[in-house]
Structures are given as structure tokens and as C-alpha cells.
Chains A and B, each alone.
Chain A
Amino acid sequence: MSDDVRPTIARPMIARPTIAHPMIALQGITKTYPGQTRHAVAQLDFDVPDGNIVMLIGPSGCGKTTTLKMMNRLIEPTSGRILLDGEDVTGVDGDQLRRRIGYVIQQVGLFPHFTIADNIAVVPRILGWDRKRIDTRVDELLHLVGLEPRDFRDRHPRQLSGGQQQRVGVARGLAADPAVMLMDEPFGAIDPITRDRLQDEFLEIQRQIAKTICFVTHDLTEAVKLGDRIAVFGPGGVLQQYDTPEQILTHPANDFVAEFVGSGAAVRRLSLLELSRLELEQISVDGVDSPNGHPTYRADAAGRAVAWSHLPGVSEMPPLVTVPLSGTVYDAVDVMLDMRTPLVAVVDHEDRPQGALRWDALVRELPTKGRRP
């Protein structure tokens, strides 16, 4: 299991150095439900690093929701220890523990007889915040999740759409500013278009608030899109692999993970891998320096690529086609097929080439940065 962590949402190009501080740590956790011989979760050691989004994924009945619910002790473990920010919380008062941890579920579960503002204010009220602080916080959170406080504060949950309700659900989870958020398939019951938008907004929010988030999903696309790390659970609540999304996709630890990732994994990976995370083929501007074997290109005054000037082993230059660095490998393949060229230049937001990607490289193993060998 590698220790490095993909830099989250800010997506700098270099992986952040190893961090040793887990916000949540499960140590030797086992859960056996009464009357059952099989473990729901078996001997689980699991660290959630501070500020990360960790996705728990696996087939039905693999213990991912059980694991999540043991983190705030909605389900009490049969044995083992739970540490929250270094503090052993295995034996503390469960209700008080849960007030320190945000909780968002698929069915949202807003209180229908409360206004939106009152729903968000539940935990702050219990914690005894004064009125003014609560009002300010409610407005702040409604803004954060993209709902205009003036329009939504005094409405009731049943007057809101499913997507709006889940925004309120997220705001409610964040209300008392917990360090940790537990989310159980929060976007699972929402239509695909709204879900996609909510996921984007969720990443945007996480960039601002940098919480430690544990997120149960059954959707691999969602796991790869949102997760800094993915934990794949197998039957009997056994953790099969816990790693970065690209490691899960490129190097499944065993047959179970390989099968779970699925036969479409190779193509799926293309649309999930951003070009910025690839080790691109080095290219250089014509005339500056031409190390043997590197493609070179002619550039205009602004440094934008205009045409290929030299490609090793090729006499007739193909047209120079570019794809943005922010795109995915899938985009690059699309452009190659569309333009019938085996080579694209990858450019940054100012159209300056950062490297090249070849058709040939795609069928070999795609080298990515920021992970251990």
C-alpha cells in the first residue's frame, strides 16, 4: 500500500509528500452482527489522511457502509479501536461524537417539519451557539452550496427538488464545521445530469473547506472522479486494495479488484486520466536544442506551436494537432482518431506545448507521475 497521496483538488502537478497524520484511524476493527457467523467487517486497519477524500467502494454487502457507520459509531464495532484526530473515541459518548462529525446520506433525511434554516441549524443549536452566530452560519452555508439564503431560508424541504435537498443535506453536515464528513452515497438517488453538477460543485466546495471526507459509493466513475484514494472492499468486509484511483485502475492488487474494476477498465481509464497526470513525451522548440530523438516544433512569437518541424524517423510531417493539458487521455484519443494523426501536442492554457502523446504510447502502459513504482 503506497503512502503518497494524490494532491486533491488543487491538482498541482507534483504529488504531495507523504503525510503521517491520519484524521480517522480504524485499528483492528471487526464487526459481526448478532446471529451471524460471518464478519460484516473483518480485522480492518484503515487510515483516512487529513484533508483527503477517501472513497469506499465494493459490491453490495461488502461492509463499506458498515465501515462508514463505525467511524461515527452509528454501528458499534465488535472489536478494535477508532481514533479521531489521534483521540481514542471507541468509548466516548456516541451522540457527542456524532455532533463533531458531519453526516450526509443518500435519502437526505431533512426534517420535513423544520424550515431549511432550522434544518441546517440542528447541530449548532444542540451545541448551544447563539442565535446570531447560527444565522450567520446558515447564510454562509447556503451560499456555499449555491442556494440563495433569501429564497431558501424559510422554505420547507418538501418544496425543494431532490438536488436542492441534497445541497441542504451537505450544508447541514457542514453546519458545526466538523473536521470530518461521512457521506453515504449522497448523490446516488439523483439524476445523472444533476449528479454530475453536484459532484463538480462538491469538489469546488472541498477545495475551499479541505475537510477529511469518507464517501461510500457503488459507482466507480464517481470514485475515480472524487477520490484522492479509493478503498475497494470485497466479500466478508475484507479490504482488497486501498490506493490512488490510477493505481486501482492500472494495478489492481488482485483478481477481485481487477474484476470489480471491470473489463472496460482500460477504456474507462482513458476518460479518467487527465493529461496533466501523464509523463508526456518530451518535445522542444525547433532550433533551441534538438536532442536526438525528440520531436521538435516551430513556434510563433507567443510560444504557440504552429507545425512539427522534426519527428524522428518520419519524413512527411503530419499536421500539428493540440489538446489542452486539462483534458483527459480520452480527449486525446478522440482528437487522434478524428484528425487521423498518431501524435498530438499537449498544450497548457496559453497554448504552449508541454509535451506530446503518441498513439503507440497508449497501447503500452501509460506512465503517470506522482506514484510509487
Chain B
Amino acid sequence: MGGADLIGKSVTRPDALDKVTGGRGYPVNVNLPGMLHGKLLRSPYAHARVRRIDTSEAQRLPGVKAILTARDVPQIPFCPVYFVPSDGETLIRDMLILGDHVRFAGQPVAAVAAISEAIAEAALALIDVDYEELPAVFDPEQAMADGAPQLHDGVARNIAKNPSFEFGDVEAGFAEADHIFEGVYQTQRVHTCYMEPRVCVIDCDRDGHFTVHSSMQHIFGLREKLAYALGIDESRVTVMKPPYIGGGFGGKLDMGYIEPLAALLSQKTRRPVRIEQTRYEDFICTTRNPIKMWLKTGVKADGTITARQAKSILDSGAHATHGAQVIMVHGLFGMTFPYRCPNKKWEGFTVYTNNIIGGGYRGYGAPQGCFAVESQIDEICEKLGLDPIEFRIRNALRKGDPHPFNPAWTLNSYGYEEALRRGAERIGWATRKPAGSSSGVRKRGIGVGTQGIWVSGCMGFPDIYEHTGAIVKLNRDGTADVATGTVDIGSGAITALSQIAAAELGIGVDKVRLVSASTDTVPFDAPTHASRVTYSSGLAIKAAAAEAKKRVFEIAAGLLEANPDDLEMIDAQVRVKGSPQSSLALTEVIRVAETPFIKDTLAGPRPSSPPQYKGTIMGSSSLAPPENPSPAAAMFAEVEVDTETGQVKVLRCVYAHDLGRLINPNGAEGQVEGGIQQGLGYALMENLVFDQDNGACLSADFLDYKMPTAVEMPRVIESIFVETNEPSGPFGAKSLSEQCVTVPAAAIAAAVYNAIGVRITELPITPERVLRALGKL
């Protein structure tokens, strides 16, 4: 098999064999000769000024090779987010590698490199830090009040970012409405829980060039941020692409403290330095920001939305990091875009507090918005006696509509209605009972949550990289090496991209290899994030493969005495279209290209083939995708609520999604099933909690931070893939990854309402909250 018929086939993951036998490729396994081990000393205080640090005793500990404090590191304020230009005009650069102002419990104040982790750890205990404790604030609304402790100079009321927008006339819209609904929706702080900890090994050579191994979702982003924070040229940093990493989900989309500190420790010691985070350190280095959303919607009696107004407060923690971007995505994709409504107004606040910093997490602001918007729609339908499916379809955008994000684009493929209707049919929506009507202690309910407009990458976003590239090179044995900066974070990028390359080239997927790469050897690539890889990287790889194929055809055309335009490649054979007997093996074409111009035969030297055929057959690309097509998702959940304990059990999920074109069915199902695990955890149990007196994390290991095991997951998860064939996508594909995390909380909340007749508007929906809502506590 080779060619376009590879698309839509569940091919085996090329990386699976290695992973089931041990998995050598994880960054956590990188081990260099002479490597030192680094550890960070972290502040126990949530808000403090470092008066003095005495490292002398630690310096004397045998085995300690270097110690860094604020005065040893560049004081260049930076933003750690990988996908934004470091020098962007509006970018908030509010972090230092090490500084004397501590803003969250766990912020590093010093770093040690030693010959073993144990010695480095012991050295930390010998560092004496004199802190001046400052008043701290942990609640964003309190942080916005007059007189609250100020976290950053010149940031009034701790508001790091305050975006707003208005379309139409909201007041007129509400005046036009027959009913007005208002609600407040609160979401919590959760962690991506990638299983491989963040780790880096950095080696600074004698010329001051840094070679970086790190578990992250973006090699070029790390190169840029590291160079910026160190104040050096990017060309002095080489970031190696790991063969794969142990999960990311957005949690590895920003430079941590460990990378610049390992780099500086290596520079100082002239030895490679490795820093591996503990799970506690992982829990406090990235989170999905909690958002509180006030949402008001006006509707006519027939269910037409006339106006919508919202305010969102995002708890950014000690630094802005992703919070400045998340708030925008939340406002636009979480609230504004999914439904047609002529009058909309929104204001968002990204607010500094002394909580831990936020990060990226699948959905990036949308889950918080989706929970609010979809919960309110469920309430509207319930109160007005409207069917939630029909209400949504009435107000949804449709294929052919202008894209709400960029009216210059059209929704050329958009299967929202089909996803919703097919999902409803599968779950048995018609059999759904009125809310709270089932009898007995354990009550069942069905609910739906949807997300209309979402992304396939970041094309069109201000100050977010999206261009990407690839190099496709054919080997003499007929295989293709594909080099790209795209990191496989577990989502199956290697598989889908191999399929796309193989399909374009007309060779078997087993003939394609995603090869090693680094920032030195491949074109710039945006991160593995924003549901972008299949669409954007897929387009770049398809383009590079097409260029290589074009070269094959140029050579083959000469050999076959045909026109290049008349050739096709199927099953590694170059054929004249319509005359399959006139064909040439791909390996033969490559042999012609790669053999010396003069061949030494037994009869003496002879020209082998014309010089213009010579040279490695390859293609490359570096491009930005033309558009940002929207997927669409609808999820249905069936739950059982124990009304004596408040426990919610999710029995069954049906998830329907328009992904344009299915590249790898097994891989796509896996994305959905895993997304639902994360969405279910968000809905029901996951919560990073902190001591409200001192900001200490109380759920910094998996004993306290609970996520679903195999036992809590529904026994049935059904995926429905709607194929609308996106014209701009590689083989018609667009995106999948994030919506399956975005919609479950709304669907589960609606199902809980349907079961017990009481609505819960704060996540997670813990048994205690359910019982309280039922009036039993």
C-alpha cells in the first residue's frame, strides 16, 4: 500500500515498538559523560524579598561544583511562552531567571550543581536565605481591590492584561430579548499531569555554545527564550529534538526555570548539567488558569440569542506567562465565536496573585468558557422548554459563513450540526427524561456540551508563530527521511505525518522515517500545540514531499521519455498515467540520481546518465498555512448520581467531531479517549489546592491530586468522526486534539443537572458540592 489510500488507515505507530520495550528516546534518559546534577532552592514564602543569601557553607560541601543566586545571572526580564516573539511590543516580560523578589511559594532563589543529586540536595539545605516576608494575596478579586499587595511595579490593581471588545449594541440586544439569563461560573486550577517530568541536560562548550536536551513541545521556542533570557544570540543555542517526550498537553509550552539555570551552571562548570524536576516541582510550574466568568444572555422566546455580555477574571498567579494569551482565547473562542449573536460585549482581566504561575493546557481558555456558555445554554433550554440540540443548531454558525475570527476566510467545511445530530442519535437523546425525574437513590441523566468554532493552529493570531517546515530526502533504498522540528508529545504526530508523507510520495508508510533533528538542521517550526500538527505540519510535509516527488518525475520523465505532468507514483513505482506498463521503480530513479556521472564499466568508462539528473532527490518547505479552519465538537455524557453521597459516575460518552478528514482512525480515537479522561477529571475531581494562609501547595503529589484511573473512566466511549473534507487541509484534514478536552465538563455538568434537577456552576463537581446543591449538607 502506498499513496492516498493510506489516508484513513489505522497504521501502526512507528514509535510503539521502542516504547513497549523500554523507550530509549525520552529526554529523561539523556546521560552525558561528566554530567553534573542541578537542584533549585525554592522559597517557602509566597511573597517575600530576599535580603541576603549566604552560600558559603554549601560551597564547601564536597562535590558541589557551582551555586547561582540572583547576582550571578542576567537580570533580563523575559516571557517564557514559546510561541510568541520574545521582543513583541505588547508582550509582558515579567520573569527573571533568579531575582530578589519572590512572588509565589516555590519560586527558585538559588541553584546548585553537584556531582550527584543527593549532594546537590544536601547543599540546598546549607544555603542560608534571609527573607523579608511581604503581605500576600491569593484571590484575584481581592488582588484587584484598592490596597491589595502589589506584585509587579507599575501594574495597577495587579491587572496584567485587560482586553475587551464589543460588537453591535448589547443594550439594544437585551432590550430585544424576551428572557435574560445571568450566571457566574467558576473553574479551578488543574495540572496537565504529563507523566514524564520536566527535565533538561544542557552542555556549554568552550566556545560558549549551548547544546540543549529538554522535555518540551517546541525546540525553536526554547532556543529563542533561552537565548533571550541569557542575553545571547540565538545561534549560540542548539536545541536537540527528542524522538518523543512523555506527554505535554500544553504543560511543556514554556521555558521553565530549569533550562536557563542548567545553562548557566554548565557555563560556569564547563560540564553538562542535568536538572530533573520532582513531581512537586512539576505541579507548581504550570497549570490551567482558573477563570471566573459572569455571563449574561438575552434570548427571544423562539430561542434566538439577541445579546451576550460577559466578564472574565483569570487568576494568572505570580507572573503573566500564558495568562495574557489565555484570556484572549477564552474571550474569543470560549465565549464569542461559537454562536451567532449580533450584540456581544466582553471584558477580561488577567490578574496577578501570589499563587503559582499558569501555563498552557489543551483548550487554552476554552474549557473555562465552554463550561460557562454551555451550562447557561442548558439552563436557558430548560427554563424555556426548548430542545438543547435544536437551540444550538438555530444559533450556530454554518458552512459558508464568514469565519468569525477573520471574515476574509469562509467556513468552507464545518460539520457542527452533523456532529450534534449524529451524537444525539447515538446516545439516544430522544429517550432523555425530564430533569430530576428518575426515582431511587441513584439517578441517571444525559447531557450535552459542544464547542463550535476552534482552531487548527494559530494562523491569524497576533504575535503567535505559525510557520513551519520540513525536509524530505529520498534514500537509495527507496525510503524517505522526513526531518521536521515538530515534537511528538504522544499525540501521534510521527504516525500522522508519516502517513501524509507516504501518501504524497506514493510509498509505503513503513518506508518513511521521521529522523533526528535539531534547531540547526531543520526550518523553523511552531510548537506542538493549538491542535495544529496534522493541519499545519501536515501541509508543510506534504509540500516538501511534493517537491521531492516533482524531482523524481523530472528524472523519470527523461528516462521514460514522457512528460513529467503525465507521471504518477503509486506503490513506489513511477508510472505514466493511463499506461501502467510504462513504469520505473522509484529506487531506479534514485539510483540514477545518486550514481556517479561516469560509470566505470568492464568496457571502459561510460556516461551513466545526464548530469542534470544527478543529486540527492529532496524537497523542502517552510510555509504558513493559508487559513485556520474550524473543527466542531459535540459530546454527550450519561451519568449516574448517588444522591446520598453526591458521587457522580460517568457511564457512557459519545463524542462527535468534525475533523475534516480522518488520517489515522485508531490514533484519532485515542486522542478522544484520552481527552475525555482529562475532561472528566476537570469536571469531577481534579483540583490543585493551596493553603490560603501561606500559598503552599496541598496537592503536590498523586496521593492528593486525583485524576481518573481506569476504574473511574466510563466503560463506553464512542467516537464519531464527521468528515467534511477541508479544502485547505492536507488530504482534507483539519484538527482534533483540544476540543475533546474542552467539552466534557459542560456535558457532564448538564448530565448531572438532568439527573438531579440541580445545577452546579463551579468545578470540580465534587460529591460534597453535589450534596450541598441537593440541600443535604
* A and B assemble together: no
